[in-house]
Amino acid sequence: MTSTYIYDAVRTPFGRAGGALAGIRPDDLAAIVMRASVERTGLDAARIDDVIFGDANQAGEDNRNVARMGALLAGFPTTVTGTTVNRLCASSVEAVIQGSRAIESGDAEVILAGGVESMSRAPFVVEKSAKPYPATGNQTMWNTAIGWRMTNRALPTAWTISNGEAAEKTAASWGITREDQDAFAVRSHELAAKAWADGIYDGEIVQVPDTELARDEGIRDGSTVEKLAGLKALFAVDGTVTAGNSSSINDGASAVLLGAEDAIDAEPLARITGRGVHGVAPDDFPIAPIEAANKALARAGRTWAEVDFVELNEAFASQSLACLRGWPELDPEKLNIHGGALAIGHPLGASGGRIIGHAAHELARRGSGVAVVAICIGVGQGLAVVLER
């Protein structure tokens, strides 16, 4: 069977909500990384068989197939098609997986995958009345930037709690303390800040025109456990989940250029060797990556003892720590060695492309190795891939 190789991975710096990227439309953000990917490799864009991009919201400027819109704005030929996929937080991991399947089945040679999200520009929406012109009553307006809206009342109440409440439940059931979470969050900021200072991220970034954002906007230099201890719990009176040990609301885009062997005149960064998806009860979503990663490793024919490092999306510190406990064979120091989403940010549709891309670049820096990339997904799913070089 044909293998799928990652030839390039690039992303924007991630901006904070209302921050440096708030004025940039999501389709423009997508176009920036799409254009950069072909320019960096010298690829003729006409050779791209399909653009597959993830996007979790799709309620505003990212509606009407942002993958196709981004490709057109990037200046690609109109013959280059595009499709947008949605697996919430794992949308761009899903895009990469779908692209790899197309290549391995022989349906494509070159796929440009990735994802985008502008949580700053996510619109307010109003539920439509059953009647064209309702005579009385007020309409509810919803903020689509984050969280589950317009939930179906047929679902059990426990399944419709917020992601933050689910993170609190995870902390309680796994015995993860506030101190554990705050210490993990500080580690993320310290590692991310050091990685940027050391130039680790330089080769993965394309700057956004007309902005001065030089690195991920959410990284807090000098973050300490003592500072985080002063923050209030967000989701329970006596809770442990705070703004300091949760990922933030962000804007950004990522792209991952996939191809068959020798399909692109560039040295591949890594090869995709395993994929896994796992489902749990919606209120247990933080721990779904545990089994997703186990499945991906088994399908790659690898064990945890062979894994050199892991890129796990840090939606919450409690979620990340629970996953670590679910992988007892993994050395905790191999997790998110250059920081994670608690510092870097989590623009939903773009995060998966970031962690896959960073894992691929790290494998290329090392010259060899095995990496696991995993991500939790609201409403009770986890997705993972194994990369090798």
For residue 236, how many other CB atoms are within 10 A of its CB?
14
Of the CA atoms within 13 Å of residue 100, those in its CB half-sphere come to 24
Active-site pick, 89, 278, 323, 338: 89
Active-site pick, 189, 278, 346, 358: 346
Is residue 323 part of the annotated active site? The answer reads no
Query: How far from 290 is each of 18, 68, 285, 296, 328, CA to CA, in Å?
Result: 33, 33, 10, 10, 11
Is residue 338 part of the annotated active site? The answer reads no
Sign (positive/negative) of CA torsion 13, 242, 294, 332? positive
Give the tokens for residue 70.
């981004």
| Cβ contacts of 141 within 8 Å, gap of 6 or more | 124, 125, 126
Residue 100 DSSP SS3? helix
DSSP 279-291: E--GGGGGGHHHH
For residue 385, how many other CB atoms are within 10 A of its CB?
29
Active-site pick, 278, 358, 361, 376: 376
DSSP 31-99: HHHHHHHHHHHT--GGG--EEEEE-S--SSTTTTTHHHHHHHHTT--TTS-EEEE--GGGHHHHHHHHH
Residue 294 DSSP SS3? helix
Give the tokens for residue 168.
């609190």
Tell me how far apart the alpha carbons of residues 359 and 291 are, in angstroms, rounded to a whole number: 20
Secondary element (H or E) of residue 117: strand 110-118
Phi then psi for 344, rounded to 5 degrees? Answer: -75, -35
Is residue 346 part of the annotated active site? The answer reads yes
Tell me how far apart the alpha carbons of residues 276 and 305 are, in angstroms, rounded to a whole number: 18
Q: Tell how strand 250-259 and strand 141-143 pair up.
A: unpaired
| DSSP H helices in the chain | 26-41, 66-73, 91-105, 163-173, 178-197, 225-229, 288-300, 317-326, 341-344, 348-366
Task: Provide the annotated active-site residues.
Answer: 89, 346, 376
